[in-house]
Amino acid sequence: GVILLGDSIRVGAAASIERLKTRGAKVILASGDRPNPVRETAEALQIAEYYPLSSPESKLELIRKIQRANGVVAMTGDGIND
């Protein structure tokens, strides 16, 4: 037998991301998860830029890099290491 576990995308997430995009926000997905699930989630939510296998430290560096280039960053997380 095979057991397959996975997370589901929260109801309303796609609509929320679309609203952000229509307001000019660039949406990026950074996750500590493996590449395939992160890619699948990004594709399902129409997020073009994504970073799998991201540690809390690499997420912070990504935020700092975006801040240096663009100034304003809003970040949300789903766990205590975010």
Nearest Cα neighbor of 53 from 39, 38, 78, 32 is 32
- Reported confidence tier of residue 7, pLDDT bands at 50, 70, 90: confident
pLDDT tens figures, 39-64? 999 999 999 999 999 999 999 999 99
Question: pTM value?
Answer: 0.83
**Among 79, 74, 73, CA closest to 54:** 79
**What band does 15 get if pLDDT is binned at 50, 70 and 90?**
very high
pLDDT reported for residue 79: 67
Nearest-angstrom CA–CA distance, 63 and 59: 6
